[in-house]
């Protein structure tokens, strides 16, 4: 009897850990996608980083080409990379196609994670097992911090390592002469995106922990 009870507790812990991990990863993906699709960040950086001067392009041209890149990354109908007004090399084209593949993978992974969360959430919620919320709160801080803290310590080296991990070529090292779009996207912009992601994850973690505390307190009453 005790052995069965112990096994059930272990099984419950595994399910809650899997639920929390899946939930955390899903939220991280959604926040990353939200950040990269939030054009306001880039539009603010156009002024803050003086991108027209860096790129030697007009504001309207900068926005139209940036908007196209974002649409290309998210659209299933746009399969051929073709910037509105800027020239690009074959290597540049391949790089953006590879980035799109990563975006598509994240989308598909998000669907799988959402299904997993739904399946595991229902029985836990019915049984009032809320510990997964506390675990989710912890994972939302620990998982991304393991990846993002190196960016804060040494952004340049981490930025280079990131590309070496996710790309099996050096096409991401765009030549401004052949791919002037690279001048529109300085590393400082991606650093600001990283800060935005960390901020949203901290907020999300705090919210989940607050919900966990409230639900745990309600069980005692």
Amino acid 84: pLDDT: 94
- Domain boundary assignment for the chain: 25-220
Q: What is the Cα–Cα distance from 188 to 151, expressed in whole angstroms?
A: 11
Amino acid 130: pLDDT: 87
Amino acid 113: pLDDT: 97
Amino acid 59: pLDDT: 95
Radius of gyration of the chain from its Cα atoms, rounded to whole angstroms? 21
Amino acid 162: pLDDT: 78
Amino acid 46: pLDDT: 96
Side-chain-side CA neighbours of 176 within 13 Å: the count stands at 8
CA nearest to 46, candidates 62, 67, 68, 70: 62
List, for the chain, all residue ranges whose pLDDT scores fall below the cut of 50.
none
DSSP string, 135-176: HHHHHHHHHHHHHHHHHHH-HHHHHHHHHHHH-SSSTTS--T
Angle in degrees, CA 19, 143, 160, rounded to 5: 140
Q: What is the Cα–Cα distance from 82 to 80, expressed in whole angstroms?
A: 6
Task: Give the helix/strand (H/E) hosting 83.
Answer: none
């Amino acid at each position: 009897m005790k052995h069965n009870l112990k096994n059930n507790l272990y099984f419950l812990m595994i399910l809650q850990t899997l639920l929390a991990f899946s939930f955390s990863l899903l939220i991280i993906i959604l926040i990353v996608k939200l950040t990269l699709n939030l054009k306001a960040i880039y539009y603010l950086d156009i002024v803050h980083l003086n991108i027209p001067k860096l790129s030697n392009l007009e504001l309207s041209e900068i926005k139209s080409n940036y908007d196209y890149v974002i649409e290309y990354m998210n659209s299933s109908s746009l399969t051929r990379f073709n910037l509105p007004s800027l020239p690009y090399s074959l290597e540049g084209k391949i790089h953006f196609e590879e980035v799109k593949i990563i975006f598509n993978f994240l989308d598909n992974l998000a669907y799988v994670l959402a299904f997993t969360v739904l399946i595991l959430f229902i029985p836990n919620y019915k049984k009032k097992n809320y510990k997964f919320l506390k675990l989710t709160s912890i994972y939302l801080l620990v998982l991304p911090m393991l990846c993002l803290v190196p960016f804060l310590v040494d952004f340049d080296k981490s930025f280079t390592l990131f590309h070496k991990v996710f790309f099996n070529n050096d096409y991401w090292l765009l030549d401004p002469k052949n791919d002037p779009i690279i001048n529109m996207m300085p590393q400082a912009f991606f650093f600001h995106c990283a800060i935005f992601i960390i901020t949203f994850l901290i907020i999300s973690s705090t919210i989940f922990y607050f919900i966990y505390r409230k639900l745990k307190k309600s069980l005692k009453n």
